[in-house]
Structure 1
Amino acid sequence: MPEVIFTGPAGRIEGRYQPPKTRHSRIALILHPHPQFGGTMNNQIAYQLYYMFAERGFAVLRFNFRGVGRSQGTFDHGQGELSDAAAALDWVQGLNPDARACWIAGFSFGSWIGMQLLMRRPEVEGFISIAPQPNLYDFSFLAPCPSSGLIVHGSADRVVPPSDIQTLVEKLKTQKGIVIDQQIVEGANHFFENKVDELMAICGSYLDRRLAAAAKEDDAA
């Protein structure tokens, strides 16, 4: 788990990078929860997502948004953090020019940043969005959503009413050719306390299904 430092729009960005197993391996970018509420790249769910992708051979990067840990700058209410994420993806793509595709996985605030990023990057083939907050953040930019992905949240989330996430999912499901897989972790709160293992099992199973389907398409081609 090499520590890395690279240059972002607001200065130095601190991250952890796992090199890929092959030069054509996919890239995964992990985005952590809200910086002003204790969110860092070492958040338990961000950490687990990092290893989930690494175990499947991805080139994986997780990093601290501006103003967090050793990353320079100050919190910028999402706009600057989106620029940080774009710079992070540029950096890892520069190391892996032959990567076949990218995935983005974000938790809470990180899922909002991640879904904005995938709108700007056509090479993103899939996403995992954990506990998005459409009641707090505007997701109207997803018109249309360009990639299929997983949205997973807890049934006991008091930060985000499940009905608000349901509305978001239903909106995204109307996009032709896009498949949004929604999973609900029963009894889980916004932070998935005592439910992280169940959450990660859902994410890992989804990723394995998508990778198996992509491999079949490659074989057919």
Structure 2
Amino acid sequence: MNVQHFTHEQIHLPSGLKLEASLSVPPERLAVSSEKKLAVCLHPWSWLGGRMDDPVLQSVKKPLLERGYYVLRYNSRGVGKSSGWSSLTGLTEAQDLQDLVQWALGTIEGVKHVVILGYSHGSLVTSLFPVLSEPIHTSHILLSYPLGPRSWLTAFRGKHYTDTLKTLLHHPRSNVLVVYGDQDDFTGVTDYDAWADGLEEESQGEGKGDLHVERIHGATHFWGDQNDAKRKMLEVLTEWLP
């Protein structure tokens, strides 16, 4: 089945929800692989203007395509032309993400690698996504995880997010990349470092998944061009991608 590039089209989910999405197709020489790759990208908090055309998500699209990924970006419920209402907890959005991934797996035949990439608030929803059944390999990228404001971003469901992320790290087939800047606008580097140390401790031991943490010097929450932060971040992603 020849999957075509599309922009700002609505995808109908089994729940009745319609999500506005854009799909970018990798170069033809990579798209014909028998083991296809899919990356689903989640934008920052919609209540602060987060959209699928966010500049950071636009910047990660190129390295994903160059590594052979079909790149699916979408507006979460209540954003743009997506139907429904955004929730205060992010839990409804997590179910939407699962439904969307199943739609994509049914549309793009032969997907064997799935990367869920969440930026800012999108990384919270990403952390709730479960590891898919074999033979699909599942990877998670948490970019600028909003640790500082997490409680009010999730209507004080912080413990649920903490516990679910721990469960993910304990899964033997999980593969998680965490990337943050040491000049983040919402989370101090001391708090980030302590959180990262806790994640690495959780991932230690036999039968657990793989975790990779990168702290980018000079990077803010928004990955501007100052201090060459965006380039460094993109290099980390490119080198890590399955």
TM value normalised by structure 1: 0.85
Equivalent in the alignment of 1:183:
214
Match of 1:216 in 2: none
Shift of 1:10: 5.8
* CA offset digits 1:158-188 (Å, max 9, x no partner): 3012233323322332323433221122111
Matches within 5 A, 1:50-65: 50-65=61-76
Could you tell me how far apart the structure 2 residues matched to 1:56 and 1:164 are? 33
CA change 1:10–1:112 in 2 (3 A) is farther
Of the three residues 11, 23, 47, the one matched with 1:17 is 23
Say whether the 8 Å CA contact 2:10–2:81 is kept in structure 1: no
Unaligned runs of 5+ in 2: 151-157
Structure 1 gaps, min length 5: 212-221
Whether the 8 Å contact between 1:49 and 1:105 is mirrored in structure 2 is: no
- Compute the displacement of 1:124 (Å): 4.7
SS of 2:118's equivalent in the other structure is strand
| Aligned residue identity for 1:129 | L
The DSSP-based 3-state class of the residue aligned with 1:143 is helix
| Deviation at residue 45 of structure 1 after TM alignment | 1.1
Any conservation in 2 of the 1:132–1:165 contact (CA below 8 Å)? Answer: no
CA 1:125–1:204 in 2, change beyond 3 Å: closer, same or farther?
Answer: same
Quote the residue 1:128 is aligned against: 141
Match of 1:99 in 2: 111
Q: Secondary structure in 2 aligned to 1:129? A: strand
Quick one: distance in 2 between partners of 1:10 and 1:64?
Answer: 15
Kindly state the Cα deviation for residue 189 of structure 1 after the two structures are TM-superposed: 1.2
Map of 2:11 onto structure 1:
6
CA offsets 1:136-172 (integer angstroms, 9 cap, x no match): 3322212332312211111111301223332332233
Is residue 142 from structure 1 mapped to residue 165 from structure 2 by the alignment? yes
Aligned counterparts of 1:136 and 1:36: Cα–Cα separation in 2: 14
SS in 2 for 1:101: strand
| Equivalence for 1:206 | 240
1:157 aligned residue: 184
Post-superposition CA distance 1:65-117 (Å, at most 9, x none): 01111111121121221122112111111112421121111101011111111
- Provide the C-alpha distance between the structure 1 equivalents of 2:104 and 2:86, rounded to a whole number of angstroms: 23
CA RMSD of aligned residues (A): 2.0
Counterpart among 195, 198, 201 of residue 168 in structure 1: 195
| 1:71 alignment partner AA | S
The structure 1 segments of at least 4 consecutive aligned residues displaced by more than 3 Å after TM superposition are: 120-124
SS at structure 2 position matched to 1:180: strand
* TM-score normalised by length of structure 2: 0.78
Amino acid at match of 1:169: A
The question of whether the paired residues in 1 share the 8 Å contact of 2:19 and 2:75 is answered with: yes
Answer yes or no: is the 8 Å Cα contact 2:178–2:212 preserved in 1.
yes
The total of aligned residue pairs comes to 207
Q: Distance in 2 between matches of 1:89 and 1:112?
A: 17
